[in-house]
Every structure is written in C-alpha cells, then in structure tokens.
Amino acid sequence: MGKVQLFEIRLGDSRVVYSPGEPLAGTVTVRLSGSLQYRAIKVSCIGSCGVSNKINDTAWTVEEQYFNSTLSLADKGVLTAGEHNFPFQFLLPASAPTSFEGPFGKVLHQVKAVIDTPRFSKDYKCNKIFYVLCPLNLNDIPDIEQPNTMSITKKFNYKLVKSGNIILTATSDLKGYIVGQAIQLRTDIENKSGRDTGAVVASLLQKVAYKSKRWIYDLRTIAEVEGSGVKAWKHAEWKEQILVPALPQSILQGCSLIHIDYYIQVSLKSPEVSVTLPIYIGNIAVNRVPLSPSRSIQHIPSVVVPSAPPEEEEAASGYHPMDNVSIPTKSHSQQQPFSYAPGLSFQEIRPDSEQTGSPNHPTLCLSTGATVPYYAEGNVVPVPTASSLILPPEYSTWGYPYEAPPSYEQSCSSANSSISNGN
C-alpha cells in the first residue's frame, strides 16, 4: 500500500452483531510511513440486498437499498507519518432487516471508508461487514401455540385389480420453534388395504425464494427421520421428534427480495402420499404453560377423517378389523451445521471446501440436503445447491448436538427408568 501501512475499520468493543435502531460506533485507523496528501476521508454505513440468477454470483440482477449514510471524517489536508484515528458513529434504522447470505443473494450490512487522494493518485478503500439481527418473536404470530395438523386420504391400486385407501395424518405440537427446540411430531396411518406400505419419512424442509427477473427457489432437506412401514389392515401411530439446528429465521422483515419458509413434510414411499405442515423458525420461543404428562402430544386426539365407501376388496372379503400398532424408528438424519452431509455431491457445483470461521467472520452454518421439487411454482425448476448459508454468530448460543435426538420410545424408556429408580 506504499505509504499506507494500515487502513482499517474497527467497531466499538469488537462487536459483530447489532439490533435495528442501535447506534454503531467505531474508528477508522490509518498508519503511514510518510506524509500523505488527501482531499477527503469519508466513512459510509450501508445496508442492501442483492439477488442474482446465477449461483454465488455477485453481479446482482436485482438490488434494493435499506440505508446509506456518509460522514466526512477529515477535509482536504496532509496526514503526517504515524497512526491516525478517526472516530465515527451511525444510528442504524429501526427498519434494517436481518442479515442473510445464500447461494443466490444476500442481505448485507457494512461500513466502508475511503481516503480520497489528489488526481492521478490512488484512492485507498476498506470495508467492515457487520450483522443485523432483528429477532422474530413467535408469540406475535396468531395461533402459534396451537398444534399443527394436516390429513390426506389416497386411493391406490395394487395387484392389478385390487384397490385400497391410505389415510395419512400428521400433527406437530406447535406451529413455531426456535433453534435447539425439538419438534414433537405424531403421525397416524390407516392402511385400509391388503398391501404393506413403504417406510414413513418425516423431513424438516427449508425453502428460500429469491426474487430476480423470475423467482428462484433453493429447497433443502435440513433433517430427516425414517420409520418402518405399516402392515396391511393396520392403524399405526408414529411418535418422533426433530431437533431444530442453527437456521435463519422465517421472516426477513423489511426485505422484499428474499423469502424464507420452513415445512415439516411426512410422506410414505409406497404408495406415494405426503402431507406438509408449514412452520415458523424464530428467535423468541412460544410462551405456553408446560404440558403435564397427561396433556403431552401423545394424547392429542386424532383428526376425524370421513371414511370412504367400502372398496371392492372389502366388500368381497368381508369386514377387516383395524389393529392399532406403533411404528418403530429406523434412522435419524440430522444435518450438522458445521460440515457437509456425508456423501453429498453435486457435479455442477464445487463449493469452497476451505472456508472456515474466524474471529472476524461467523462460523458457516451449512444447510445441505437434497432438492425437493415439491414446492416448485409455475415453470420454475428448483436448483440443487450445496452452498453455505452464513449466519450471524448470535443466531444461537445453544450447543449443537452431534448425535440425533433420542426417539420418542427412548425418551419414554429413560423417564420410566428414572421413576423406577426413584421408587
């Protein structure tokens, strides 16, 4: 840098994360080996969002700006050799949206400084990124404390001439969760056929929509748990839980170019049938009276679904009693936010595997998973990605477990053992 040995921006108390409406203070530091003539020294505080049609492309197709303030730290003069400090302070607007970074766009907040030198001389520039976190209070969302239920009935054929019905009902204990919270999930499956079903799978899905010249959808499976299938003429119940890892919040208030949504999808592999529960991920947990054991989710009544008229097979073979059974869990797949999912690869995309966290940059939270085309709208084709989502350090201070959460059966067994030992 020639005469300029150091040119940097330091934020007060080495802070990285701020809230909307807060003052942001810092210092621009310049260290010189000799005198430097300048026309002006300025500092700017900028908040903006950019979206591109191409993955990891910073040539934005569409942009919007939230704030842009500039202060003049020094007017025309000469800086002598040595170190010079120029303090500054900005007031962040109350409408500043939460920071976000994804493969097709980002909400970026930064401080920029420039030393404007005389004509034909090189200008000096530096910048410092900071993060804004506008907490999403789940209690502001209507009916957020209520159970979330969805049911579907599907008729299917098998063995060429036979037919049957599957009634799939999924219920979550709430409609909103925070990082580190367990989603308590109950699934009821009525197999009104003479054929066994395939495995049942519950997935936590993330959908990020980017508004460019057209809508671009990045769809990911964040976590997944699989249970066994249901035997013929059985009414099965499956109780499981999915732990919410470090994720961006559902609503980027004030940002019109990036929308984030989350879903719980419960599906059968054979016959193919699924239900989808929209949920919210926030920062402030739902306020509710703790449920006693007698009021916990396992006792939430099933949704009453009208029965279809008897099918040909039922009429021919007579009445078939529906035995009640429980579905055992086969496997958990909880994506770890600090590493790529094992075995996941996309030939078209080669993410930088050497990106790591540092004191000046938050740890990367990698939300990787298979693309889910279920949510595609119009003629837009979902794009599979393995790119990182960068989260501010204070999205969660909760320690992420490196093992899947215990199943419902394991939790009950542990509780029963504790009660027995206490007696």
Is 2.60.40.640 the CATH classification of the domain at 138-416? yes
Structure letter (DSSP) for residue 368? -
The pLDDT value recorded for residue 242 is 95
Cβ neighbors of 19 (< 8 A, separation 6 or more) are: 92, 132, 133, 134, 135
3-state secondary structure of 296: coil
Distance CA 325, CA 25 (A): 62
Edge-to-edge order in the sheet of strand 234-243: 148-158, 162-172, 182-192, 234-243, 323-326
CA dist list (Å): 70 to 89, 111, 288 = 10, 10, 45
Domains 4-132 and 138-416 in one fold: yes
Dmax over CA atoms of the chain, in Å, equals 99
Burial of 53 (0-12, 13-18, 19+ CB in 10 A): middle
The pLDDT value recorded for residue 335 is 52
Determine if the peptide bond prior to 271 is cis (ω within 30°).
yes
Amino acid identity at 358:
S
The pLDDT value recorded for residue 190 is 96
Residue 334 pairs with which residues in a beta bridge? 223
End-to-end CA distance of the chain: 74
CB 385 within 8 A of CB 346: yes
3-state secondary structure of 418: helix
Per DSSP (E only), the strands in 33-61 are 36-51
The pLDDT value recorded for residue 41 is 97
User: Which bin fits 56, alpha (ψ -120 to 50), beta or left (φ > 0)?
Assistant: left
β-pair type (100-102, 82-91) = unpaired
Cβ neighbors of 58 (< 8 A, separation 6 or more) are: 50, 52
Residue recorded with tokens 């900071």:
130
The pLDDT value recorded for residue 380 is 41
Instruction: State residue 422 phi and psi, 5-degree precision.
Output: -70, -35
What tokens were used for 149?
């239920």
Cβ neighbors of 319 (< 8 A, separation 6 or more) are: none
pTM: 0.74
What tokens were used for 38?
């300048």
Computed on alpha carbons and rounded to an integer, the radius of gyration of the chain in Å comes to 27
Q: Which residues of 88-120 are buried (b: 16+ CB within 10 A; e: fewer)?
A: bebebbeebbbbbbbbbbbbbbebbbbbebeee
3-state secondary structure of 13: helix
The pLDDT value recorded for residue 341 is 25
Instruction: State residue 143 phi and psi, 5-degree precision.
Output: 60, 25
Tens place of pLDDT per residue across the chain (423 aa): 568 999 999 999 999 999 999 999 999 999 999 999 999 999 999 999 999 998 888 899 999 999 999 999 999 999 999 999 999 999 999 999 999 999 999 999 999 999 999 988 889 999 999 999 999 999 999 999 999 999 999 999 988 878 899 999 999 999 999 999 999 999 999 999 999 999 999 999 999 999 998 899 999 999 999 999 999 999 999 999 999 999 999 999 999 999 999 999 999 989 999 999 999 999 999 997 654 443 444 434 444 344 444 444 444 444 566 677 777 776 666 553 322 222 222 222 223 333 333 333 322 233 333 332 222 334 444 444 445 554 544 443 333 333 444 555 565 565 555 555 555
Domain map (residue ranges) of the chain: 4-132, 138-416
Which of 98, 385, 378, 53 lies closest to 211 in space, CA to CA?
53
Architecture of domain 4-132: Sandwich (2.60)
